[in-house]
Structure 1
Amino acid sequence: MTPALRREHHLAQSFPRQKVSQGELDRFIEPFGSGLHHLFVLRVGGNEWVGRKVLQHSETVGWHISSVLQPWMLLGPLAEWHWGNQGAVIYFHAVSAQEKETAFHNALTQSGSEVRFPFPAMDDNGRECVCPPEYWQCNESLATQLDADEQHFRQHCTSLLSSLSSPGALIHDPACSTGEFIAHLAGELPDRQCLGSDRSASMIEYAKKHHGTSAARFYLADARDIATTGIQCDVLILRFLNAEVMSRKDAQRAFLDMAAGVKPGGTILLFGHTPVLIAVPYMAQVLKLELISSVAARPGHTELFQFYRLRTPA
């Protein structure tokens, strides 16, 4: 086990370890390395809380990092943080477990709430870490891995689009990966048109093989070329403007290009397994999109995950 992985397992067993009384200032140090991209900031009610994503355990997949955040991952209201030779030194106010749960509940009901991840995944040289093209050569192991942490996304999208979209609406997933996501929507929303594409030939081959009986249609294409295809959709699903998939700069460029492929008054849904890279409120302002919400949770669960819903100008 690598030192980084040992640290993750240690944090999973001991996090958070409160050292001071409630209301007093405490601190948490995240050293240089792969853990930096697990730090997050929750903005709710005009205040900012700081937290750290930690390994979770399930019987099906064992220890894993999930896109679902839990209240206990919060450290507390952010006071300040410093950057130096130690890494990121975060100062926060110690609060009770109940106050953390209340912050999560408020984030779902108060406008302007958002979860942000300041640091991207980085390599040993401090540069953004992006998976090489060969990583996306599809096989059963990779397909299982990619599909494992998206049940909550499928559930939320199905519920949302059942009322948000109309019969006949075109739902486009331009980086459909294994096809599991768009095929699920096609099964749950049979009166919508569901279209999936990916630039990986092996992914499209896998999608057609495993979802050939689905009403979803699949084709080979680079998502960043969507503006030149002439396809105009009612709902654009973006699940790849994320850490480890591309750099922040490339994610911003891709978002600018793809927003043009949505009909007036249409919907853009932006989320993913790893943190969303772009500054969505800023990009919404640039493109004159209406940012409706930024976080979501499954019914009956005290949790949060990044889930941006935007509407194009009518």
Structure 2
Amino acid sequence: MENDPALKSTIAITSYDGIFKGMYDKEIQNMFMDIRICLSKGNWTQAQDILKQAIMGSERSPGDKKTLLTLSDEIARYSAQRIDPTTVMKEDASWDEVYQRPISRIDVSLYGLPQGVFYLNIDVPGSPNPIRILGRKVLSDFWMKNKIPELYCSFISADMLLGIFWDQRVTENKVTVHYYPFEKSEKLYAMDQVMKSSYGLPELVFPYPLLRQTTHQELCSSPEGWVIDDAFDVMLGCGEERIREYTIKFIGSTKTKNAILYDPACSTGVFLSTLKNAFPDAYTIGQDLSKQMVDISRQRVDEVHCGNAMEPKIKQGTADFCFVRFLNSEVVKSTEAEELLVALLPTVKRGGYMITFGHTPVLLSSANYKAIPGFKIIQCIATAVDNSGIFQYYVLQRL
């Protein structure tokens, strides 16, 4: 376990306001690693004891203390929301019964992890109006297994569903959401129905971007792109395991031969190379803002370019699949996401697909995609290949 990639030292990740978590202080970082090892082995009491010690010893490093306090809250929420494996799924849920319960609420700081709050919009047969389910992410199972440095990943499971949305209030420093709570057996039922496509065209929406407390601006990546090292390269790849599995399944379902696969923010090229292995007749084209990323990708991608995605390096109307993996929270800002989407649309050929997803929440929604002429929405979410949950996966097809 000590050799797992997420526990290796990397200059690319330290403690900051987003979901990527490491430590500045070397001694605290060692304790942080011990906490993760204990959690991965199920030693919760020992992990919490070490966490308490780390918090007490973090006065000299305010940034680390903030991260450790956040982790303490997240561990408590993980335990509270977890559904025991012995829980029996309800055979049928009564939405009217849920509405009869006392109302509950959550309060989330706009400078904490507000991007963990989401809505699952569904169309229930027989209901005159769509139903909006409130949810809140918990610690990623990949993080618990020491595969990734992010507290959250793109995956949504039944235990993250809270109940039926009723009302919200956004103030200068927090968001408050009121909802009618689900029983845990109802959470299992709701997720099962979503994965069975019983609720029309379900969509996951993350409406609250993370803001910097000092500027009230959205957190985003450096204009020069990410710093990368070998450890971070491995970590980035681990976080997309479910997405890669599903993408292979989706491409196969289209029966596209000799496909051109374009990734305008290809990172280290692992995503495209995985698809190439699955479809050897495909031709992969990558592009990235970071020269360092491009240099690494050359070993994995058929053709790669260094440049901003606002200026695609691929000929217009030639991509069978354009994978947009960076219009996400903590990567770009919401206004930039809309501009980048418009710039990339012309790359897709008639009958081809633009697919949007990512490690962190997609900053756009079906409202943005429905306004695009010449494209239709095929789906907004994907179900994990093992049917354990869902994640954002917008598929647009060019008409």
- Is 1:9 paired with 2:87? no
- Is 1:132 paired with 2:222? yes
Give the aligned partner of residue 114 of structure 1. Answer: 203
CA distance in 2, matches of 1:12, 1:48: 22
Residues 90, 274 of structure 1: alpha-carbon distance in 2 compared, 3 angstrom cutoff: same
CA distance in 1, matches of 2:387, 2:206: 22
Match of 1:92 among 179, 182, 196: 179
CA distance in 2, matches of 1:62, 1:223: 26
Identity of aligned residues (%): 24
Answer with 120-129 or 235-244: which moved more: 120-129
Answer with 228-237 or 283-292: which moved more: 228-237
TM-score normalised per structure 2: 0.71
Give the number of equivalent residue pairs: 307
Q: Secondary structure at the match of 2:344?
A: helix
- Is 1:183 paired with 2:249? no
Tell me if structure 2 keeps the 8 A contact 1:105–1:302.
no
Matches within 5 A, 1:1-314: 1-2=65-66, 3-15=69-81, 23-45=101-123, 46-57=130-141, 58-61=144-147, 64-84=151-171, 87-108=174-195, 109=197, 110-124=199-213, 125-134=215-224, 136-209=226-299, 211=300, 216-226=302-312, 229-230=315-316, 232-313=318-399
Tell me if structure 2 keeps the 8 A contact 1:41–1:48.
yes
Residues 303, 234 of structure 1: alpha-carbon distance in 2 compared, 3 angstrom cutoff: same
Tell me if structure 1 keeps the 8 A contact 2:379–2:394.
yes
> Deviations for 1:185-233, whole angstroms, at most 9, x for unmatched residues?
0110011222112121100111124x2xx6x332223221128854621
CA distance in 1, matches of 2:261, 2:314: 18
CA positional deviation for 1:165 = 4.5
Indicate the structure with greater strand content.
1
CA distance in 2, matches of 1:31, 1:224: 32
Give the aligned partner of residue 57 of structure 2. Answer: none
Q: Which has the larger radius of gyration?
A: 2
Q: CA RMSD in A?
A: 2.4
Q: Which runs of 4+ in 1 moved over 6 A?
A: none
Residues 135, 235 of structure 1: alpha-carbon distance in 2 compared, 3 angstrom cutoff: closer
CA distance in 1, matches of 2:338, 2:148: 34
Residues 23, 288 of structure 1: alpha-carbon distance in 2 compared, 3 angstrom cutoff: farther
CA distance in 2, matches of 1:61, 1:299: 19
CA distance in 2, matches of 1:305, 1:296: 6
CA distance in 1, matches of 2:118, 2:260: 34
TM-score normalised per structure 1: 0.90
Answer with 21-30 or 124-133: which moved more: 21-30
> Deviations for 1:23-60, whole angstroms, at most 9, x for unmatched residues?
33112222342221111000012200001111134333
CA distance in 2, matches of 1:155, 1:204: 24
Gaps spanning 5+ residues in structure 1: where? none
Q: Secondary structure at the match of 1:237?
A: strand
Tell me if structure 2 keeps the 8 A contact 1:53–1:69.
yes
CA distance in 2, matches of 1:282, 1:204: 30
CA positional deviation for 1:99 = 1.6
Tell me if structure 2 keeps the 8 A contact 1:22–1:95.
no
Q: Secondary structure at the match of 1:225?
A: coil
Tell me if structure 1 keeps the 8 A contact 2:110–2:208.
no
